[in-house]
Structure 1
């Protein structure tokens, strides 16, 4: 039966149901996150401070960008940086039919949930397809290839750990004739290739939730909760667990673990 309202009654918690008011000595709230602030009004009415909820753990939309033709392709270690911020993550990256995903993007979205919300999910993502390899290191590798294999066709000899389809894509980006030998690659094209490999730029316009999950940053202010018991500091006998709290983690099971752990602690202390 749906709970219409929580009403503290003396030293017990009253739940206003359709059938009337039921009283309990202890109540655990595990309602999960809410996409909008008004979804927490019933808890703020009890005196709790609410941290405004914003989406977390989402992928980057890049509408009509040619990179999406490589959907399904992944890079083992790429660095994602958000222009104009300190956000940066180095992890595997996945190209999708709508843009980019994978741990590098998902972790960026988690750590930068509020920053990206303030940007209205309109920003420029800088991609280093080689992880933390610097531009001067790329130049040295190219020079080594030109010296060791000058007659090899550029398309057939990629000196970097990149999928062939992505290598072909970058050569086209740089307007490099792919069947040209390495010895004939001009300084202009070398500079362009270095820029694309270490500082490729993509306009992001919007987000997509990760699979069918929707994680929010925000919720009950952690200062309002005793984490030894998960009991509210505002309403004795009321406990919280899971994403209703201002807790969100990066991809990798951390949100599940937070829910399990806080639920265990709350349940344990409700039995005391």
Structure 2
């Protein structure tokens, strides 16, 4: 018999169990983990460095990083924000650092120190860690307690906190009980693109802007020249670094679009067009005017070897070639149509996306327990007393940069405060 069972040995589960034990040391707490290892997502996050949180210390700024859950998280972030998370780790011997883009990492650049911190804390507080305990089901007993069935045995607990992430089996249990589950779709993914303009030049990163237009205006035979297409507002827009990879395009601008457009792009079956402006300070028209000036000033120099803009050389040469300009052609020999083509390649470079890839090992899912069915002051179910949620199990997801961990920490903290404050008497 336990006072509290936390299902899920990940970031949210450990943080919640530790916070509960710290506030109310008398409670008997167990963490159930389905595998033989814990905190596996913490281990691989941030390329093995663990992006603990984001350096946005005001709730109204922090919520901008959540495509789903913006409104609901505003209040919770006023209670437990990145500053509180930083204090939690540093007080436990894990010093942190903030990088230029706002991401916060351990100074050691190793996720292992976060894992060690959690393992030390549960041992210190006497929290039981039960591995190889995959949850098969849970139900409310007549005495008001919960029975949790695992692969090994059944456990009884007064309070159940689910921190099982995007576990479809647990979502199915909740749905059978009466909770609404928003269908899960992938979020935070990169775009698969097979295009000669970016093939063979991985590792190039450019501050760019991207647009994803409505799919209906395209056909499978559309060319790169979009001049004749009807002008429609893009369904998604983003700015930031765009990274050329072996399989297509990635980087913050792409990842933000994949998060904000998770459901739209799923409807498109991950086949759509993305328009990249490699030079966001220019429109196509203003770029054309600028290139005419370059043509006059650099008339005797070859276009491919004389970069008019501060783009990586390999990318510049690919775009020049795509505009129909040969390697030996001089600026003075470029005709009007070639100048227009180059302007479009630089400011409205259209790529056909055919599929997606997981961003490194950091998979995030949009979907989960419907937010209307959760009390965001406590992260308790509105349908079932003494049932709490934390982390990715609910329909909240963030963009890359520590936002998803911050959701886990905040939800776990608020649930823990409520759980620990309730007067519990163990009956054996």
Shorter-chain TM-score tier: over 0.9
Counterpart position of 2:185: 54
| 1:167 aligned onto 2:316 | yes
Q: Residues 269 and 167 from structure 1, CA distance in 2 versus in 1: closer, same or farther, beyond 3 angstroms?
A: same
1:80-127 Cα distance to aligned partner (Å, 9 max, x none): 211215111111101111111001111110000000000110111111
In structure 1, distance between residues paired with 2:196 and 2:187: 23
- Residue 60 of structure 1, CA deviation: 0.5
Counterpart position of 1:8: 140
| 1:92 aligned onto 2:92 | no
Higher mean C-alpha deviation, range 12-21 or range 133-142: 12-21
In structure 2, distance between residues paired with 1:135 and 1:129: 11
Map of 1:175-214 to 2, 5 A cutoff?
175-214=324-363
Q: How many residues align?
A: 269
In structure 1, distance between residues paired with 2:134 and 2:302: 69
Contact 1:141–1:159, Cα closer than 8 Å, also in 2: no
List gaps (5 residues or longer) in structure 2.
Answer: 1-132, 215-233, 422-428
Contact 2:197–2:315, Cα closer than 8 Å, also in 1: no
Q: Residues 256 and 124 from structure 1, CA distance in 2 versus in 1: closer, same or farther, beyond 3 angstroms?
A: same
- Residue 66 of structure 1, CA deviation: 4.7
SS across alignment from 1:26: strand
Instruction: Give structure 1 regions of 4+ aligned residues with deviation exceeding 6 angstroms.
Output: none
Map of 1:212-231 to 2, 5 A cutoff?
212-231=361-380
- Give the TM-score normalised by structure 2: 0.60
More strand by share: 1
- Residue 79 of structure 1, CA deviation: 1.5
SS across alignment from 1:70: coil
In structure 2, distance between residues paired with 1:74 and 1:245: 34
List gaps (5 residues or longer) in structure 1.
Answer: none
Higher mean C-alpha deviation, range 13-22 or range 247-256: 13-22
Q: Residues 148 and 132 from structure 1, CA distance in 2 versus in 1: closer, same or farther, beyond 3 angstroms?
A: closer
SS across alignment from 1:147: helix
Counterpart position of 2:297: 148
Contact 2:197–2:319, Cα closer than 8 Å, also in 1: no
Say what the alpha-carbon RMSD is for the aligned residues: 1.7
- Residue 11 of structure 1, CA deviation: 2.6
SS across alignment from 2:367: strand
- Give the TM-score normalised by structure 1: 0.93
